[in-house]
Structure 1
Amino acid sequence: VGVVVIPEGLPTALTIIYTFALDRLKNKGLLVKKQSLVETLGSVDVILTDKTGTLTYNKHTVRKFWFNNKIYSVTGIGYSKKGEILLNNKKVDNKELEIFLEALTNSVETNIIEENNEIKIIGDPLEAALIFLARKAGKETYYEKIRLLEFDSIRKRMSIVIKKDNKYIAFVKGAPEKVLEISKFIYLNGRKVDIEKYRNRIREVFEEFAKEGFRTLAFGYKELKSLDEEIEKDIVFLGIVGIEDPVREDAIDAIKFAKEAGIDVYIVTGDHPLTAVFVGRKVGLGEKFILGEDLKKMGNKELLNILKDTKIIARADPDDKFRLVKLFKNNGYYVAFIGDGINDSLSLKVADIGISLEDAADIAKESSSAILLRNSFSSVIEAIKEGRKIYYSLKVYLIILLSILLGIFTHILITFFFFSQIFLNVITILALNMAVETIYSISIVNAEMDERYLKRKPEKRMINNRTILGIIRNSLFIGILSTSIAFATVGNVYSIMLFFVLSRPILMWYYKFKYNIELFKSKNIFISIFLSILLISSFLNPYLLKYVGGKYPIFFDFVIVSLFAFLLMIIKIVILYVERSAGT
């Protein structure tokens, strides 16, 4: 009895299922590190993502910039020096842009390598766009770097001190409002003047750029009297660039599916709110937003209520991201967090599924539980679809497995207590375990589902009370029918075993319609049935000898098994019809 109750082949079977599942997820563009996350992936109902690289292409081009109180336009596409800088549709003399272009090239830490007409960016793609703007102007100038104040999420800016003609100059780059707040002067017509009366104009410019969907960066400089002088104070404001990062077309369809599938998607970005809203509107997440500074002032209950219809969080810092992950998790949601920065590592660790981008920082990859091999939001949704297929496949596998094992257990109990006989010994039970557990697992991994049914959110518990009742009902039918076969065939063990093996495809057929999961398209199902029958055929020899001796008609037992298998199918058809009529 213990041999029946304990599914010895289950660990091996689950390993096979998970291995195939991980391979399918990898083909969809997601490398999952832990087997246990395969099921969780299908249950995700909240996704927190930045927009850059997932909702957009992360291929930046400077389209506009504001300098010397003028708006310039830039032609050309992507990372190419082909293009021109225009003012009122006329080519400009790039000499007048010299200090602005110096600020661009000397405030970056990114290198660009060109080999065999291919461009390799070592560093930040956003900074690469600035370098190519300078190349379009033919003014790519670099000076010796003396000191670096790195970017952080609080200051939202960075500074690099360079040495030029025995002078120390600090170039500052960052969020426009953060550069503006430390500016005392503005560069106009070759000289620096007081900035006060230009502050509103500067705000108008970067908000206008943001409304058009451009990422915005501001630049400034300061001539230092000594290296000990405070860098980010009383600087000269130079200008603002508007950088285009096109929205991925596939992200629009992916978010549409997510909404229909009951998955809430949130853009959590450090960018300007108007830039975030531009992307949010394009991908179908609306225009409502909250700022990180406002989020910090809210209680959890108020914030959760606002997030019901607000899907964009702008100017967010790592603490905001971490709080959102914890908030949703503590309220019973399965949370996927997508990040790539060092500061994202804590959120990646805490989320149910932390997904890092392929080009993420090493610490982000280490903290994550999965790595996105193709930096596209649609790859995440495809992986969730695959996770839901795996969830339902695994659920059907476990239901059928437990139904048959308990059916065998029921058969043994009935024959022992009511008829004082046990037809199945330990060897035959172990063979059945192999047939319905391990061999069966190769057939379930390639199950498919119609996309309409993938929008159905999986239940929190794979095996719930209703499922348990179904398993008990199945096992009773299988146990009673197999006992009837045992007496009808005068204890033919092979016939009993054959019925248990044939019960599996009958139950698969039933659950195919119950859960709308396609189990019979793969050839693996037919291979597994053949292998299962082949395995138990080793127990056929004693009965073939009896048939040859003329004791039993040769086809009688097979007819009996076929009739009872057909009867099981009729029972399941009736149950399916009743369930469909009742809407369960």
Structure 2
Amino acid sequence: MPISQGLTAKQVQQRIDAGQQNEPAPALTRSIKEIFRDNLLTWFNLINVVLGALVLITGSYKNELFLGVAVVNTAIGIFQEIRSKRQIDKMSLLSEATYEIKRAEGTVELHQDAIVQDDLIMMHRGDQLPADGLIVTTKGIEVDESQITGEATPIAKTIGDAVVSGSFLVSGQAVVQATHVGTKSFINTLSGEVQSGEGANSQLLNTINRIIKILTIVIVPLGAVLFISRLLNHSSINQAILGTTAAMIGMIPEGLVLLTSVSLAVSAMNLARHRVLVRELPAIEGLARVDILGLDKTGTITSGKLQLNKIVPLQQETLAQLKLIVGGTINAIGDDNETAQALNRVLTDPGWQPIKVVPFSSARKWSGVSVSQGNYVIGAPEFILKQVPADLAQQIENYAKDGFRVLSIAKTTELKPDDLGEVSVLGLILIEDEIRENAVDTFRYFQNQDVALKVISGDNPTTVANIASRAGIKHSDQLIDMSSLGTDIDYDQLVADYTVFGRVTPAQKKQLVLAWQRAGHAVAMTGDGVNDILALRQADCGIAMASGSEAAKSIADFVLVDSNFDAMLNVLNEGRRVVNNIERVASLFLIKTMYSVVLSLIFIFMNNGYPFQPIQLTPISVLTVGIPTFFLALEPNYQRLSGQFMKQVMTIAAPAAICVVTYILVIDLVGGVQFNLSYAETSTLSVLLTGAVCLVALLMVARPLNRLKIGLVLLMAGCFALIFIFFGKLFSLEGIFNWEMAVFYLPLLASVYPFFYLVQEVVGRRILARINWR
């Protein structure tokens, strides 16, 4: 059977056997193998393994317990990421694009990985080409190849022209015969970069990674110098190894990166349950930082379900004649956008045969056809006419104020993309749309969270402003018609003055986003069509509807699987929960890091042994950091973001570290000299006071307190006390029920809270507050 009629089942199988089958879409998540590799093969895990091997030499096997903590942390990270991966993969199947393929047995709907060479792919406006091909049938299309060439100007294509995978149809329809599929297609030579562009940026992860980068430079040389100094101060090699190991594992903020990654993965899994597909995990954080939300009217504010209200004749044609002209024109053009579908549902098709077609373009705002009866165009009056007569402009304005989308049907002497010749407007077409259910409540919530809403649409600004007002968007009366502006546009002034932008071209949408970003705003952009691609790509966070075009979905950070914008409330809240909670608990991880680095530097020059053994850090790490941060990181916390991660962290971490170092020096210099305490006793008291300081820091971090948080802190404090009472020998701790020791350490314990508060006031409020942490 000829290829023009579609491949037979036998021909399809022959191509599959020959390896001429398309590639599946790039996975949004890492493979199981990659998850295990990236969680196991880390710099800090390597350090832990080396330190564990050194401790093994000493024969003090109980000091290997720190490896157990590292193993548990890694196992939790792997488990949570795999769990999230399965949920996200399941959700991504629902948003994957399918294509209509013309086969010998009829038209079938297939995923892109089922397409084989020579398949006939039926492409529609907004579709992304899954393979290289040749155009077999079309009335005229325009293709956006900006994903490949970087040029955003649509390129006209006709029968026999080649098209490449990764490009989008911005107008028209076509049947394309696949010529290169799979690894041979052009898109695959670009290593998938055209699909996703640059990865989402995470301020949180970037800041944490900067801390980790500094530590990787410091930890090994500092540990080596400490080890040598211990040997020079006549410590045994076993004591030197245990002291150095304790210092180095104390510097490692074990679990901080893990907790951040797990929190983002859990959020992605939670969002998948709310029918939101997250394409980039850091984008969850990105949306939480957004303070400008650009809304596309159709599909976001409104449902996108258009219907024809009425047709208004302006010339000598009767209503019946005009309906016949509109029906003939829209069917001959062959567009399949929402407006065309609304007209096709109610108008009769007279069966006009097109001679030439100019398909709809978001830049032109009109489509047209040349038939034996003449040239007809349908589109925005402002774009069809060089100058709209005053009386017609007033009539259009009145309809727009009533919330109608106003199109015109016109007859022209020419039909060129840039020249219509003489234009005679035959009538107006009134299209109406409906506000999305719950849109008012959703927008009110965003505005109450200090997220400014801006409406960017290709429709008449008065119509858009009317709909925005009905949806409860503030300042919707501040509107501008972008088509009325010249080429020299001051976008920075526009974004400062207006809320509703109408008659916006795709290029102008991008420039508006750029202007907000130049003003220091974090911008999210919603969209569902090819006209939104440039703005979605430019925005800090792109949000697409699953019912929209594949072009929009392929570059968005979030895809709303049910095309329900209300789900974005969950994304905003999840992002804020992650960022706020990680900002809050990160200080607990860094307390140990900070005092370990300072103590290592100090004890290089002291005769006394390092105050901790590796096993003694375990109760501090687990009970004051590991367990409580797991619960605190997952609690609801939807406050506005402070935007000052390091300042928030240092306000608690720096005073706590100062307190720990001060108490340990007092214990070593006063307790060891004045009270003649042994190394085992001073080491025990160092653990006791360090734990007390960290519990006070935990209490500070847990604010605002409630019953559950108070219970959590008390439980951790109780468990910490039980370590000394019942499990002292296991953790190399001396008994503390000794009155000679008690006379020394009880006043120190009583001073922990007031001393911490005093240091925080001096350091946190007066010194740290003056530092620019940006």
Deviations 1:65-109 (A, max 9, x none): 31366999xxxxxxxxxxxxxxxxxxxx96884334434544453
Q: State the SS of the aligned residue for 1:400.
A: helix
Aligned partner (choices 128, 134, 153) of residue 341 of structure 2: 128
- Assess, with a 3 A threshold, how the Cα gap between structure 1 residues 105 and 402 changes in structure 2: closer, same or farther: same
Given candidates 727, 735, 751, the residue that maps to 1:540 is 727
The 8 Å contact of residues 255 and 284 in structure 1, kept in 2 or not, is answered as: no
Contact 2:324 2:349 in 1 (8 A): no
Pairing of 1:130-149 with structure 2 (within 5 A)? 130-134=343-347, 139=348, 142-143=351-352, 147-149=356-358
Query: What displacement does 1:294 show?
Result: 5.2
Whole-Å separation in 2 of the counterparts to 1:146 and 1:557: 101
| Distance in 1, Cα, partners of 2:710 & 2:376 | 64
Q: Please name the residue that 1:64 is paired with.
A: 310
Q: How far off is 1:56 after superposition? A: 1.6
Cα deviation, 1:528-560, whole Å, max 9, x if unaligned, reads 9699979989x936259999xxx7759999999
Is it true that 1:475 corresponds to 2:688 in the alignment?
Answer: no
Alignment partner of 1:150 out of 359, 375, 379:
359
Q: Secondary structure at the match of 2:509?
A: helix
If each structure's strand is expressed as a fraction of its own residues, which one has the higher value? 1
Contact 2:510–2:534 at 8 Å: present in 1 too? yes
CA contact (8 A) 1:12 1:438 kept: no
Q: 1:109 aligns with which of 335, 339, 363?
A: 335
Specify the alignment match of 2:646 in structure 1. Answer: 463
**CA separation of 1:579 and 1:358: change in aligned 2, threshold 3 A:** farther
1:347 and 2:535 correspond? yes
- Any idea what SS the aligned residue of 1:3 has? helix
Question: Does residue 159 of structure 1 match 2:360?
Answer: no
Which residue of 1 is the match for residue 555 of structure 2? Answer: 367
Counterpart of 2:297 in structure 1 is 51
Matched, 1:405 2:608: no
Asked if the contact 2:585/2:633 (under 8 Å) is kept, the reply is no
Aligned match for 1:98, one of 324, 340, 347: 324
Q: CA deviation at 1:217?
A: 1.9
Letter in 2 for 1:387: G
- Separation in 2, partners of 1:561, 1:251: 61
Q: Counterparts of 2:711 and 2:257 in 1: how far apart (Å)?
A: 20
1:159 alignment partner, SS class: strand
Q: CA deviation at 1:22?
A: 2.6
Question: Which residue pairs with 1:312 in the alignment?
Answer: 500
Following the alignment from structure 1 to structure 2, what is the Cα–Cα distance between the partners of residues 531 and 355?
A: 47
Query: Of the candidates 177, 181, 185, which is equivalent to residue 382 of structure 2?
Result: 177
* Aligned ranges 1:120-519 → 2 under 5 Å: 124-134=337-347, 139=348, 142-143=351-352, 147-161=356-370, 167=372, 170-181=375-386, 199-221=389-411, 232-234=420-422, 237-248=425-436, 250-282=438-470, 283-293=473-483, 300=490, 303-409=491-597, 420-429=608-617, 439=627, 441-449=629-637, 453-454=639-640, 457-459=641-643, 461-464=644-647, 467-481=649-663, 491=681, 506-513=696-703
Structure 1: unaligned runs, 5 residues or longer: 73-92, 111-123, 183-197
Q: Equivalent residue of 1:449, what SS?
A: coil
Partner of 2:93: none
CA-to-aligned-CA distance 1:384-404 (integer Å, 9 cap, x gap): 333223221111121221124
The AA in structure 1 aligned to 2:363 is: I
More contact order relative to length (CA 8 Å, sep ≥ 6): 1
Residue type of the partner of 1:150? P
The change in CA–CA distance for 1:229 and 1:262 in structure 2 (over 3 A counts) is closer
Separation in 2 of the partners of 1:304 and 1:405? 45
Distance verdict in 2 for CA 1:12–1:311, change over 3 Å: same
The answer as to whether partners of 1:396 and 1:508 remain within 8 angstroms in 2 is: no
The code of the aligned residue for 1:356 comes to: A
Q: TM-score, normalised by structure 2?
A: 0.55
Tell whether 2:218 aligns with 1:5.
no
SS of the equivalent of 1:127 reads helix
Please give the per-residue CA displacement for 1:258-312, whole angstroms capped at 9, x wherever unaligned: 4443333211111111112212323223312222245555564xx4344334211
Q: Deviation at 1:494?
A: 7.4
C-alpha deviations, 1:446-493, integer Å up to 9, x for none?
22236xx43xx522x4213x7535421121224445677896995386
Matched residues in 2 for 1:563 and 1:250: separation? 60
CA distance in 1, matches of 2:263, 2:466: 42
Distance 1:546 1:260 in 2: 53
Change (3 A) 1:12 1:374: same
Distance 1:497 1:28, change over 3 A: farther
Task: Please tell me whether residue 20 in structure 1 is matched to residue 286 in structure 2.
Answer: no
SS at match of 2:701: helix
Q: 1:435 to 1:32 in 2, by over 3 A?
A: farther
Question: How far apart are 1:433 and its partner, in Å?
Answer: 5.1
Alignment partner of 1:448: what SS?
A: coil
Cα distance in 2 for residues equivalent to 1:53 and 1:259: 20
1:407 and 1:266 map into 2 onto residues whose CA distance is 48
Check the 8 A contact 2:529/2:549 in 1, yes or no. yes
C-alpha separation between the residues in 1 aligned to 2:712 and 2:316? 69
Q: Contact 2:292/2:521 (CA < 8 Å) preserved in 1?
A: yes
TM-score normalised by structure 1 residue count: 0.71
List per-residue Cα deviations over 1:302-323 (Å, max 9, x = no partner).
x434433421111111221121
Please state whether the residue corresponding to 2:302 is helix, strand or coil. Answer: coil
After TM superposition, give the deviation of residue 152 of structure 1 in Å.
Answer: 2.0
Superimposed CA distance per residue, residues 365-402 of structure 1 (whole angstroms, 9 cap, x where no aligned partner): 33333333454554435423332232211111212211
Structure 2: which amino acid aligns with 1:175?
A: A
1:140 deviation in Å?
A: 5.3
Q: What is the rounded CA distance, in whole Å, between the counterparts of 2:274 and 2:444 in structure 1? A: 18
Q: Relative to 1, partners in 2 of residues 1:408 and 1:577: Cα closer, same or farther, differing over 3 Å?
A: closer
Change (3 A) 1:580 1:449: farther
User: CA contact under 8 A between 2:400 and 2:462: conserved in structure 1?
Assistant: yes
Residues in 1 aligned to 2:269 and 2:714: alpha-carbon distance in whole angstroms: 20
Instruction: Measure, in 2, the Cα distance between the counterparts of 1:448 and 1:504.
Output: 23
Displacement of 1:246: 2.1
Give the conservation status (yes or no) of the 8 Å contact 1:286–1:311: yes
- Cα pair distance change 1:424/1:141, threshold 3 Å: farther
Cα 1:566–1:484 change in 2 (3 A) is: same
For 2:362, the aligned partner's letter is: S
C-alpha displacement of 1:154 = 3.4
Aligned length: 511
1: distance between equivalents of 2:681 and 2:316?
96
Matches of 1:403 and 1:65, distance apart in 2: 71
Deviation at 1:205, TM superposition (A): 3.1
> Could you say what the CA RMSD is over the residues aligned between the two structures, in angstroms?
4.9
Residue 175 of structure 1 and its aligned partner are, at CA, apart by 0.8
Match of 1:17, SS? helix
Give distance in 2, aligned partners of 1:170 and 1:509: 76
Q: In structure 2, how many angstroms separate the alpha carbons of the residues matched to 1:523 and 1:59?
A: 52
Q: Deviations over 1:169-206 (max 9, x none)?
A: 65422112333459xxxxxxxxxxxxxxx955543332
CA distance in 2, matches of 1:146, 1:560: 100
Identify which of 261, 277, 280 aligns with 1:34.
280
